[in-house]
Structure 1
Amino acid sequence: MAKPNKKGPVKTVDVLCCHCKTLLFKYRKGGKGALVKCFKERISKDFTQQACTCPECNTVFAREMLVRGTPAYKIIGGKAIAK
């Protein structure tokens, strides 16, 4: 399968924790579908201290994995939203 476009989209979305509404990171998302995965190279600003964990409520909102050979966070359903 093809790798994701490195430059990616210009539009950024805020990724928030569903539990406490804390800003987790700003992400350059392409398309208009639901937030399923976040490629690490497309994260423009990261506000988390520990990977995949909310800094405010310590909820684990994603898992680290390789998607199409590129490091990404796979979002756990209902734990994080894009706004």
Structure 2
Amino acid sequence: MAKPNKKGPQRTVDVLCARCKTRLYLYRKGGKGALVKCFKERIVQDFTTTAGHCPGCDGQFARETLVRGTPAFKMIGGKVIAK
């Protein structure tokens, strides 16, 4: 399988916690589908203190994994909002 494009898209989205609306990431997202995974190399700003846990409510919103050989966060359904 092909690796994701390192440069990535130019459009950025804010990734927010669905429960407490705390800002988690500023992410370069491609496409118009739902946010299923976040490649670590595309995260522009990281507002979290612990990987995959919200700093506001301390809820887990993602799990660390490898997608096509690249480190990424796999989002748990319904835990994040992308604006």
TM-score (norm 1): 0.99
Unaligned segments of structure 1, at least 5 residues: none
Which runs of at least 4 in structure 1 moved beyond 4 Å after TM superposition? none
Question: 1:59: which partner in 2?
Answer: 59
**Where do residues 1-83 of structure 1 align in structure 2 (5 Å cutoff)?**
1-83=1-83
Map Cα deviations across residues 44-70 of structure 1 (whole Å, 9 max, x no partner). 000000000000100000000000000
Give the superposition deviation at 1:81: 1.2
Q: What amino acid is the match of 1:15? A: V
Give the distance between the partners of 1:49 and 1:61, measured in 2 at CA: 13
Give the distance between the partners of 1:54 and 1:24, measured in 2 at CA: 7
SS in 2 for 1:53: coil
**% identical equivalent positions:** 75
CA RMSD of aligned residues (A): 0.3
Q: What amino acid is the match of 1:13? A: V
